Structure formats: C-alpha cells, structure tokens
Structure 1
C-alpha cells in the first residue's frame, strides 16, 4: 500500500552532545531522509512530524557511531492524525429560557444565541453581546423580526466577526433604567441579576474585554445608558435609531454621563457607534442633538447617518456592523 503523500515538517534532535544535519526540513511521506552525523559520538536520532502545528508522529533511533563518517538513511511513512471533529456551521438559538428574579418578581424570559462551536468545544469561553430590543417589542423580537440567528451565522461564516454568545433579555417598556415604567427597577435587575445569571450559566468571558452591548430605539438608549454609566463593564456599544430623549421623560439623560466625565475617563470609554436613518422622523432629531453635544467632548465615537426609517429593514442592516464592532473590540 502506497503511503499517503502528505508533507510534514521534520525536526531532527541529537542527544549526548552529538550533531546531525538533514538536507532539508520538510519531507513528503515515504521519501528517504538523509542525515549525516559526526563520528565517535553516541546519540539518539529523533524526528517528529508536525502538520498544522500539531504533533502527528514520532520516530527515534539510537546509534553508537563508528570511527568513520556515516550517513543514516531512513524512510518515514506518513502518520495521518485523527481528524478534528466537525464544527457545525450554524449556531443554536433558544427562546425558551428564563431566570428567576427577586427584583422584578417571577420568571424573566430571554433569547440566547450560542455560536457554532459552542457544543463541540466544551472548555472554551466566548465573548458576549447583550442585544436590547425596542419599545413595543420583546425578548423574541430580534429573532422573529430581526433575523438574528441567520445574520449572526452569516457574519461568523464570512469572517465579519468572531464567534460570540448573543443574548436578548425581556425589558418590557422599562427603557432599561430604574423607575421609568410602573416603578420597575429594571436597571438593578439587568446589572445585579440578569448579567450575573447569564455569565454563570453559559461559558462567558466575564470581563470588560469579553462584553459588548447594543440595541435599537429604546434599546439604543439602554445600551448607551449602561455603557456610559458603567464603562468598566463593556468594551463597545452600538446604538441603532436610539430614542435618546423624550419630552417629559423621567429617565436619566444620556449627555451628562459623558459631559461630566474627565478626559482621562472618556479615554477609557467603550468604543461607541450610533447610527440613524435620515427618514426616521422621531429618532433622527434626537441623535443629531446628542451628536452636537458629544462632538464638544473628547469622546472618541462614530455617528453614521444614511437613508432609512425606524424599521426592521434598517436594523437588520445595522446588526452585522454591531457584530463587527463587538468583535473588533473583544480581547
């Protein structure tokens, strides 16, 4: 049976003070290997094969050299390594999970996306994106209306982003802060219950360098609110069509979270992008107003506008950009 013609990297080692030199450093399987050694030395001639930096075969021979030059001739057959387990090309999405909350009471729903290799690499930890829905939506909306799984699978497969966990919590009409809706302390729930529960249930890189946050409309406000209030927690933030201001609102304004910081503090803020459609007659003025304030500070950020409305067509186009921003800033 002919040996498989796979090329391996060959490393030669001598022990006991001897020396050996090979004519070249890589050989096809089955090719003769010529090694010239110095006489009068006892040594072990060892060779191992590496394929894609993985050990795939070892051969070792011991010789007592005579009083003359000697050329060793050996033929090594390919030792084909065990194939890597197949990695699925699609992630998994689950909208059935809940966590128990003492702050909000009862079981709280969320949607979670686990990347393709999550099940086949049980010891690996993954970065995470917290993806926030808008007012009048729910924890399912990013999948049922936003096509989350398909967009994430495609972005990972095409190298737009690295593999990551994506989670979307139920937020009702809370604006992700305390006291805005029915005296709901949602901020406390999100920071003190939801994030710790997710990061203890799933294999998450639970550091600033492992977290990103993004959202649309109400969730665009929410992601900026949490990223700016807790810059030590998140590495990036992508706000889509964010509802930054509402007349008569009792929710915390975003601008002071930036303007009241020092230059040194702003230098450590998460990477920030806000994007809004020019035909979004509600959110566009809000984003322009915040931009006019932020551009007076030293915050490093990007404000993107393009044709678009306050709808899922716009947000589906934003999502791959949010995934890339997250991936580019993960450590």
Structure 2
C-alpha cells in the first residue's frame, strides 16, 4: 500500500487574462515519471475534490503499479465555490471566459511544462455534476482538442440537450457516464433535479448522434462516495492495462 500513497503532486498557478485571478492547479506525476517520455493526460474540473474526496492520485498509482495501466498525468483545476455555477453552467455568466481560459491558457501552460501528448485522443476531460457539464461542452466546442469525456453524474439539462441536438453527428466523441440511482431529487444552486431522468435523456440524445458511449447506473447518491468507487472503471475505460 505504501507505494500507492507516495504520490508526486506539483502545484502550479496558471496566469489568466480571461479570469479574475491566476488559477491554482495540481499536477499528478505517475510512478516512474520521466521527462523524456510522453504521457496522456486527464484534466479534472473541481480539481481539489478529485484529489481529496475522489482520491484520484492514489487510484492512479494503484492502477499503474498493480494493473500495468499506461502511466498518465492528472491536472486538477481548482474552482472558487462562489463562482462554480457561473463558470461551469452553460448558462453561467463566467462560462465562456472559463472555457477560453481552459483552451487558450491552461492547456498551453501545461504543455509547455510537462511532457503530455498533444493529440485529442490522449486528453480526457473529467468532471462531476456541473463539472461533467463543462467538460462535455468543452469537447463539443473543441473537437480538435478533446474527444474523451468522463462524467460523474453530469448535470446534463436542457441547455446541454439543445447543444447536443445542434450537431449532425458526434461519432468522434467518446463519453463515459455514470449516475446514481438515488439521484432523483438532487438539490443544486440552480434548483432540484432528477439526475437519473436527465442522464437517461442525455444518453438517448448522445446515442442518436453516434457517440461512443459507456453508460451505467449504480446504487448511490450525488456524492463522492459513489464517484470515488467508479473512478477506477472510468480510468480503465480510457487507458489500456498490460498485466
């Protein structure tokens, strides 16, 4: 177990002209990290939550060391709770600026400093709830950058459905989704929602657009207790194992 908890996590401050202040990010480097190699990369919304409540660095160490998963880098992007809805919601006042920061400032910053692969197939966008929403919209807006999305109980409401409908096909998109079966009345900053209904509706819309989709419903609520348990399978979906 000791190998799993020896995690290498760097801290960075990404300057931004699109956001009010620089944005803190945590960068997980896999076991055996070597700057002469190149690595796929997972970009996480709610980065601090993915590292603390999701335990994604410990999970990644375990998958790489125990299952021979291809090593990858994780970038966790922090968020100010008071601005989260306005940045992550498609209808949020800061959403466009946040997406510009992500594509025009964060990605180049990471790629200048770490040996991450630069092709869309080697990038995964991950998010929980509204973080899953902004991850999907980043991919929908920028297929030349992102083709893989990992959504933990994504808040895929009408605005997202309308955006999916706008595309003639999404056959380039790979999406892994899970939702908890107890998520039928989740209280959010935008109101109370039946996430099971909305995820099922989104699944059908995505299926119609030929998305390469992995969808599951599991016992559990809209909490990290569910999402942490599902993260290993989500990562296995995107990264091969060799053992």
TM-score category (smaller protein) = 0.7 to 0.9
In 2, the alpha carbon distance for the partners of 1:215 and 1:177 equals: 12
Query: Alignment partner of 1:97: what SS?
Result: strand
Equivalent residue number for residue 270 of structure 1: 173
2:66 to 158, 162, 176: 158
2:140 to 228, 231, 246: 228
Asked whether the equivalents of residues 171 and 186 of structure 1 are also in contact (C-alpha less than 8 Å), the reply is no
Asked whether the equivalents of residues 214 and 322 of structure 1 are also in contact (C-alpha less than 8 Å), the reply is no
In 2, the alpha carbon distance for the partners of 1:122 and 1:296 equals: 42
- Does residue 1:295 correspond to 2:203, yes or no? no
Cα shift at 1:183: 7.4
Cα shift at 1:238: 1.3
The normalised TM-score by structure 2 is 0.83
| Larger RCO of the pair (alpha carbons < 8 Å, separation 6+) | 2
Equivalent residue number for residue 40 of structure 2: 127
Q: Using a 3 Å threshold, how does the CA distance of structure 1 residues 210 and 184 change in structure 2: closer, same or farther?
A: closer
Equivalent residue number for residue 56 of structure 2: 148
Larger radius of gyration: 1
Asked whether the equivalents of residues 103 and 185 of structure 1 are also in contact (C-alpha less than 8 Å), the reply is yes
2:15 to 97, 100, 112: 100
Asked whether the equivalents of residues 276 and 284 of structure 1 are also in contact (C-alpha less than 8 Å), the reply is yes
Q: Using a 3 Å threshold, how does the CA distance of structure 1 residues 195 and 321 change in structure 2: closer, same or farther?
A: same
Stretches of structure 1 that go unaligned for 5 or more consecutive residues are 1-87, 134-138, 247-252
Asked whether the equivalents of residues 276 and 287 of structure 1 are also in contact (C-alpha less than 8 Å), the reply is yes
Residues 143-182 of structure 1 deviation map (CA, whole Å, 9 limit, x = unaligned): 2222122111111112263100001112331443677146
Q: Any runs of at least 4 consecutive aligned residues in structure 1 with deviations exceeding 3 A, and if so which?
A: 88-91, 174-179, 181-184
Q: Which has the higher strand share?
A: 1
Equivalent residue number for residue 191 of structure 1: 103
1:168 to 73, 76, 83: 76
Asked whether the equivalents of residues 111 and 118 of structure 2 are also in contact (C-alpha less than 8 Å), the reply is yes
1:115 to 30, 49, 54: 30
In 2, the alpha carbon distance for the partners of 1:178 and 1:302 equals: 23
Query: Alignment partner of 2:67: what SS?
Result: coil
Query: Alignment partner of 1:309: what SS?
Result: coil
Any residues of structure 2 matched to 1:27-106 within 5 Å, and which?
Answer: 90-94=6-10, 96-106=11-21
Query: Alignment partner of 2:25: what SS?
Result: strand
The normalised TM-score by structure 1 is 0.62
- Does residue 1:324 correspond to 2:236, yes or no? yes
Cα shift at 1:291: 2.0
